[in-house]
Structure 1
């Protein structure tokens, strides 16, 4: 895949084909490399899981 500059890119174009990217901000190569090196998140929580996590965190 050929990298394009921001000027060459049309709407929806990305610097890298990251799956979780919805809006490429054309970060510097160093920042982009740091972000892409992170482990993938475990996915979204269900509504019940979100409520349970909220209650666990706020239990005092």
Structure 2
């Protein structure tokens, strides 16, 4: 079995907590949360790209 993309026990726990919180939200709150999450993922990608570009120089 390939374990490269498996979550740690701590990550599984955090995921369960987030799932419980999201389950309690209404549709409008879920949309806002999803948009903020996607924005954070894009920012994270930009930071990673920045460090990769600058580490090669």
TM-score (norm 2): 0.28
Structure number with bigger Rg? 1
More helix by share: 2
Greater RCO (CA < 8 Å, at least 6 residues apart): 1
